[in-house]
Amino acid sequence: MPAIIHSGMPFAKVLYLGMTALAGILAVVLVTLHTGCSIDDCIGASLEAYRIWYWLVAIPGLCIVSASLGYVSPRKAWIWGLAPLVAQWLWEVLGSTTVGTGNLGPFAHVVALAAYALSAIPGVIAAEIAAYLSRRKGTAV
């Protein structure tokens, strides 16, 4: 098993990328299930609950995943911070019934992508710090 997870292998990078994407989608799904609303149909207090759970639980959890993978695979560690949020954006684009149907049309997807890109900054920072520590310690493979 350790030979399969060796970070120098291309298969491991694909496995890590899939894990981070799945973690991003799982975070959104769990927040949606916990608050009872999605970002598409929340109003008032439900929207606030969604935002609180997303920013105080989901984003720190994704930072932990990103930092873990940044430590294990420090080369281009920024990918581990960006991948979960890109997966969330794709999840929203493919599953959304309201984004892109209003006056903005497909431009709404670009705005949502920009919002997710900004949300990825904490994960990218966490992954890069972990990658730096891994390289400094000499445990990087």
Q: 42 is written with which tokens?
A: 């929340």
Residue 11, pLDDT score: 78
Residue 2, pLDDT score: 45
CB atoms within 10 A of CB 34: 14
Residue from 99, 90, 92, 89 nearest 119 by CA? 89
- Tokens 């799982």 correspond to 26
Close Cβ partners of 127 (under 8 Å, ≥ 6 residues apart): 66, 67, 69, 70, 77, 78, 79, 80, 81
Per-residue tens of pLDDT for the chain, all 141 residues: 344 445 456 777 888 889 999 999 999 889 888 887 766 666 666 778 888 899 999 999 999 999 999 998 888 889 999 999 999 988 888 876 665 556 666 777 788 888 888 999 999 999 999 999 988 887 555
Is the CB of residue 40 less than 8 Å from the CB of residue 99?
A: yes
Residue 3, pLDDT score: 45
Residue 4, pLDDT score: 45
Residue 39, pLDDT score: 61
